Amino acid sequence: MKKLIAMVLACIMVLTMTACGAQKDDVAETDKTTETTKETTTETAVEPTKEAEKSTEIIHLVAPKTGFTEEQMQLEKDNAAANNTKIGPGAQFYFDVTAKIAEQYPNYEMEYVDWGWAETLDQKQRSLILSGNAPSIVAGETFMPVYASSGMLEPLPQDIVDMVNPSFLIYDPEGRPVSVAYKSSVFLLFYNKTLLKNAGLDPENPPKTWDEWKQMSDAVTASGNGEIFGGGVPSFPHAGGSLRATPFFRQMGVDFGGGSTINLTDPKLQETLQYIRDMNANFPAGLGNNSDEGPLWSEFQDKDKGTIAFAVNGSWQKGAMIDNGHDWGVTALPLPEGGVVGNCMVGAVYVGVPITAEHKEDCFNIIRVLLDTEIQKNWLKEGTPSALNIYIDSSAEYPEDITLQAAADALKSGTIKGLTTFNKNDAQVWEIINTKVLARTTMTNDPIDTICNEAQAEIENLLK
Amino acid sequence: MEVVGRQERILTRKQRQSRRAYAVILPFFFYISIWSLLPLVIGLLLGFTEFNALNGLPKWVGLDNFKTFFGSKDYIILLVRQVWMGGLCLIANVVLSFLLALALNIKHPLRGFFRTSVYIPNIAAAAITSGVFIALLNPFNGGLNMFFKSIGMEPIIWNYSQFWMVFWIMIFFVWRSVGPAAIIWLGGLQSIDASLYEAANVDGASKLQQVRYITIPGLRFISAYILLTGLIGVMQMFDVVMLISHGNPYGKTDVLMYRIYRDGVVSFNMGMAGAASTILGLVTVLIAFLAFKIISKGDKNE
- Provide the residue count of chain B: 302
| Res A19 pLDDT > 60 | no
Number of domains in chain B: 2
Of all residues in chain A, the percent with pLDDT exceeding 90 is 68
pLDDT at residue B253 is higher than 70: yes
Asked whether the predicted pLDDT for residue B44 surpasses 90, the reply is: yes
B10 and B64 in a single domain? The answer is: no
Residue of A151, A424, A443 with shortest CB distance to B160: A443
- Whether B221 has its CB under 8 Å from any CB of chain A: the answer is no
Q: Which helix (H) or strand (E) holds A312?
A: strand A310-314
Say whether residue A125 is in contact with chain B using an 8 A CB cutoff.
no
Residue B55 lies in a domain: no
**Predicted pLDDT at B7:** 54
Q: What does the DSSP 8-state code read for residue A450?
A: H
Q: Are residues B72 and B23 in the same domain?
A: no
pLDDT in tens, B68-125: 899 888 899 999 999 999 999 999 999 999 999 989 988 888 888 888 888 888 888 8
Q: What is the structure's pLDDT at B298?
A: 62
Residue B195: inside a domain: yes
How far CA A243 is from CA of A35, A236, A420, A453, in Å, comes to 47, 10, 10, 22
Residues B15 and B106 in one domain: no
Residues of chain A contacting residue B49, judged by C-beta atoms under 8 Å apart = none
Average pLDDT over residues B168-187: 94
Put simply, the answer to whether A152 touches B26 (Cβ < 8 Å) is: no
Reported as a pLDDT band with limits 50, 70 and 90, residue B299 is low
Q: Is residue B29 part of a domain?
A: yes
C-alpha of A320 from chain center: 20
CB contact under 8 A, B266 and A289: no
Determine contact, residues A337/A210, Cβ cutoff 8 Å: yes
- B155 neighbourhood in chain A, CB within 8 Å: 285
Residue of A nearest to B262 (CA): A428
Residues of chain B contacting residue A287, judged by C-beta atoms under 8 Å apart:
139-140
**pLDDT for residue A46 is more than 50:** no
Phi, psi dihedrals of residue A86, rounded to the nearest 5°: -85, 165
Task: Compute the distance between CA of residue A332 and CA of residue A312 in angstroms, rounded to an integer.
Answer: 10
pLDDT (average), residues B252-262: 94
Say whether both B137 and B27 belong to one domain: no
- CB of A426 within 8 Å of a chain B CB? The answer is yes
Q: Are residues B27 and B65 in the same domain?
A: no
Lowest mean pLDDT across A45-59, A71-85, A287-301, A448-462: A45-59
User: Does position A45 have pLDDT exceeding 60, yes or no?
Assistant: no
From B53, B157, B263, residue closest to A285, measured CB to CB: B157
Query: Has residue B54 been placed in a domain?
Result: no
Touching check for A82 and chain B: CB below 8 Å? no
pLDDT of residue A50: 42
Whether the Cβ atoms of residue B189 and residue B105 lie closer than 8 Å to each other: yes
Angle made by CA atoms A65, A68, A72, in degrees to the nearest 5:
115
Chain B residues within 8 A of A1 when measuring between CB atoms? 15, 18-19, 22
Band the pLDDT of A130: cuts 50, 70, 90: confident
- B65 and B31 in one domain? no
What DSSP character marks residue A347?
S
Residue A131's pLDDT is what? Answer: 83
Which residue, among A80, A109, A76, has the nearest Cα to A94 in the 3D structure? Answer: A76
Q: Is B6 exposed, middle or buried (0-12, 13-18, 19+ CB in 10 A)?
A: exposed
Mean pLDDT calculated for residue range A359-384: 95
B69 found inside a domain: yes
CA distance A383 to chain B (A): 30
Asked whether residue B239 falls in the same domain as residue B115, the answer is yes
Answer whether A299 touches B (CB < 8 Å).
yes
Q: Is the dihedral of CA B7, B10, B15, B19 positive or negative?
A: positive
pLDDT on residue B112: 81
Q: Is the peptide bond before B249 cis (omega within 30 degrees of 0)?
A: yes
For chain A, domains (ranges, CATH) are 58-185+347-411 (3.40.190.10), 187-344+422-463 (3.40.190.10)
Contact B138 A9 (CB under 8 A): no
| Nearest chain A Cα distance for residue B39, angstroms | 16
Query: Is it the case that residue A2 has pLDDT exceeding 70?
Result: no
For residue A292, give the nearest of B72, B134, B160 by CB distance: B134
Nearest CA-CA distance, residue B54 and chain A, Å? 6
B252 lies within 8 A of chain A by CB: no
Among B138, B248, B267, beta carbon nearest to A425 = B267
- Looking at residue B8, its pLDDT comes to 61
Q: Cα(B178)–Cα(A3) distance, rounded to whole angstroms? A: 48
Backbone angles phi, psi at B293, to 5 degrees: -60, -45
Nearest chain A residue to B158 by CA distance is A286
Q: Is A443 on the interface with B (CB under 8 A)?
A: yes
CB of B233 within 8 A of CB of A398?
Answer: no
Statement to judge: residues B34 and B65 lie in one domain: no
pLDDT category of residue A35 using cuts at 50, 70 and 90: very low
Host H or E run for residue A270 = helix A267-280
The A residues from 392 to 411 touching B (CB cutoff 8 Å) are none
Phi-psi region of B107 (alpha: psi -120 to 50; beta: other; left: phi over 0): beta
CATH number at residue B174: 1.10.3720.10
CA dist., res. A442 & res. A286, Å (int):
9
Question: Is residue B52 one of the residues assigned to a domain?
Answer: no
Confidence of residue B178 (pLDDT cuts 50, 70, 90): very high
Chain B residues with CB-CB distance to A436 below 8 A: 250-251
> Is B263 in contact with A428 (Cβ distance < 8 A)?
yes
Answer whether residue A52 shows pLDDT above 60: no
What percent of chain A stands above pLDDT 70?
Answer: 88
A295–B141: do the CB atoms touch at under 8 Å?
A: yes
Q: How confident is residue B9, by pLDDT bands cut at 50, 70 and 90?
A: confident
Dihedral sign (CA A210, A215, A216, A218): positive
- The CA distance from B45 to A387, in Å, is 45
* DSSP three-state, residue B271: helix
On whether any CB of chain A is under 8 Å from the CB of B289, the answer is no
Q: Which residues numbered 66-125 in B keep a CB inside 8 Å of some CB on A? A: 68, 71-72, 74
Nearest to A306 by CA among A197, A401, A209, A218: A197
Calpha distance A180→A90 (Å, rounded):
18
pLDDT digits (tens, 9 = 90+) for A258-274: 989 999 999 999 999 99
Amino acid symbol at A415: T
Q: Do B123 and B38 fall into the same domain?
A: no
| In-domain check, residue B16 | yes
What residues in B contact A150, CB-CB < 8 Å? Answer: 52, 54-55
Chain A residue nearest residue B50, CA to CA: A424
Test B52 with A150 for CB contact under 8 angstroms.
yes
Q: Which helix (H) or strand (E) holds A50?
A: helix A50-56
If you average pLDDT over every residue of chain A, what do you get?
87
Q: Is the pLDDT of residue A26 over 70?
A: no
The residue type found at A23 is Q
Predicted-complex ipTM score? 0.75
Q: Are residues B17 and B141 in the same domain?
A: no
Q: With cut-offs at 50, 70 and 90, classify the pLDDT of residue B201.
A: very high
pLDDT number for residue B6: 52
Note whether A5 contacts B22, CB cutoff 8 Å: yes
**Residue A406, amino acid:** A
Q: State the residue range of the domain holding B171.
A: 60-301
| Binary contact (B19, A461; C-beta < 8 A) | no
Interface membership of A291 toward B (CB under 8 Å): yes
Same domain, B95 and B10: no
B13 and B69 share a domain? no
Q: What is the pLDDT of residues A189-243, one digit of tens each?
A: 999 999 999 999 999 999 999 999 999 999 999 999 999 999 999 999 999 999 9
With respect to residue B230, please indicate whether it lies within any of the assigned structural domains.
yes
Chains A, B: CB contacts under 8 A, how many?
110
pLDDT of residue B75: 92
Asked if A111 contacts A70 with a C-beta cutoff of 8 angstroms, the reply is no
Q: What are phi and psi of B44, to 5 degrees?
A: -65, -45
**d(Cα A185, Cα A187) in Å, to the nearest integer?**
7
